């Protein structure tokens, strides 16, 4: 009698679905020399957005769960954070501290069931001053994710059985599974599209750099005066002339950019679409499953399964 046949295979399976939920990560930010005015601007803009979100975030009668027809299932708004720094400016041939600049930031996270509503509100927000969409994120409901995870596992097992049958049929043997080890399960989807938002979580290091910059600028001239006073005077005069020319060019560039931005915003509103913003095409989310299966033939002399195993 021939020895019992052993077959050891790995099966894999994948199932995908189009995203059922969309998440917008929003940032409301304002910068200026008047701290009260800057804070008021962020507060009023945030309240305006929250009022809009609440119109679509309907709840059930008990107020505990999202209404089945709600376009927004949930949203959250963070407390405002404040940063400040002192920029430097040229006054004549001297580099002096300018008025302190204050930046106030609030972040919001909004989960949409209605993806067409997400696209519409995203388009509106890109035209709002002091509002930036940092990124979008696509999700499945918990029920759908559990369902397709199960489907992926079944497909992985079917793939393993199919492999074993293919091998066994060539040598005329029938196989039965005797060991099943669950493998890793992965969920993959397109990375969130980065938009032209303010990047609030990344502004803190920038603020630290800005706060450090004036101190460095103040320290460096004193050191240069001690070492090369005459050279510094000539250098300062040259820098002053260059700075004045640069300021004039920057002012012209800012004016041109402002005009272009106004024209772009008008075109965006007229077309009803977003020129600058997040990716609004729902992502395809894929669940992958793997399984490790050992088979033995139903005929033949029994063989110790531990023999030859690593």
Q: Look at residue 265 in the predicted model and tell me its pLDDT.
A: 45
Dihedral, CA of residue 132, residue 133, residue 134 and residue 140, to nearest 10: 160
H-type alpha helices, the chain: 35-56, 115-126, 142-170, 203-227, 229-271
Which tens digit of pLDDT belongs to each residue from 198-245?
333 333 333 333 333 333 334 344 444 444 455 455 545 555 655 565
Radius of gyration, CA atoms only, the chain: 31
pLDDT tens sequence across 268-305: 343 333 334 445 678 899 999 999 999 999 987 776 65
Residue 30 forms beta bridges with which residues?
A: 104
pLDDT for residue 228: 42
Query: Where in the chain are the domains?
Result: 21-139+198-276
Question: d(Cα 106, Cα 294) in Å, to the nearest integer?
Answer: 55
CA angle, corner 110, sides to 286 and 35, nearest 5? 135
| Distance separating alpha carbons of residues 72 and 21, to the nearest angstrom | 9
Q: Pairing relation of β-strands 21-32 and 101-112?
A: antiparallel
pTM of this prediction exceeds 0.85: no
User: Does residue 79 surpass a pLDDT of 50?
Assistant: yes
d(CA 112, CA 57): 9
Q: 183 pLDDT exceeds 80? A: yes
Predicted confidence band of residue 93 (pLDDT cuts 50, 70, 90)? confident
Mean model confidence pLDDT for the chain: 78
- Residue range 261-270, pLDDT digits in tens: 454 444 434 3
């Amino acid at each position: 009698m021939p020895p019992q046949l052993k077959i050891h295979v790995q099966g894999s399976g994948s199932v995908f679905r189009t995203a059922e939920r969309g998440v917008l990560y929003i940032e409301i930010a304002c910068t200026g020399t008047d701290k009260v005015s800057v804070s008021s601007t962020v507060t009023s803009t945030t309240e305006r957005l929250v009022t809009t979100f609440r119109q679509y975030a309907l709840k059930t009668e008990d107020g505990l769960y999202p209404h089945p027809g709600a376009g927004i299932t949930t949203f959250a708004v963070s407390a405002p954070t404040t940063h400040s720094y002192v920029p430097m400016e040229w006054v004549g041939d001297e580099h002096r501290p300018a008025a302190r600049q204050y930046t106030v930031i609030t972040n919001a996270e909004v989960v949409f069931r209605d993806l067409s509503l997400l696209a519409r509100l995203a388009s509106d927000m890109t035209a709002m001053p002091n509002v930036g969409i940092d990124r979008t994120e696509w999700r499945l409901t918990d029920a759908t994710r559990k369902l397709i995870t199960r489907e992926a596992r079944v497909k992985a097992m079917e793939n393993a059985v199919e492999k074993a049958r293919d091998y066994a049929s060539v040598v005329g043997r029938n196989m039965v599974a005797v060991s099943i080890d669950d493998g890793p399960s992965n969920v993959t989807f397109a990375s969130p599209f980065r938009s032209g938002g303010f990047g609030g979580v990344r502004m803190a290091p920038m603020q630290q750099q800005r706060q450090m910059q004036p101190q460095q600028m103040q320290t460096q001239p004193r050191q240069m005066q001690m070492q090369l006073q005459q050279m510094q005077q000539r250098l300062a005069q040259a820098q002053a002339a260059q700075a004045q020319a640069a300021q004039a060019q920057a002012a012209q560039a800012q004016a041109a950019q402002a005009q272009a931005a106004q024209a772009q915003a008008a075109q965006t509103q007229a077309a009803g679409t977003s020129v600058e913003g997040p990716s609004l095409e729902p992502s395809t989310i894929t669940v992958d499953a793997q399984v490790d299966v050992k088979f033995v033939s139903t005929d033949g002399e029994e063989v110790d399964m531990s023999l030859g195993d690593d």
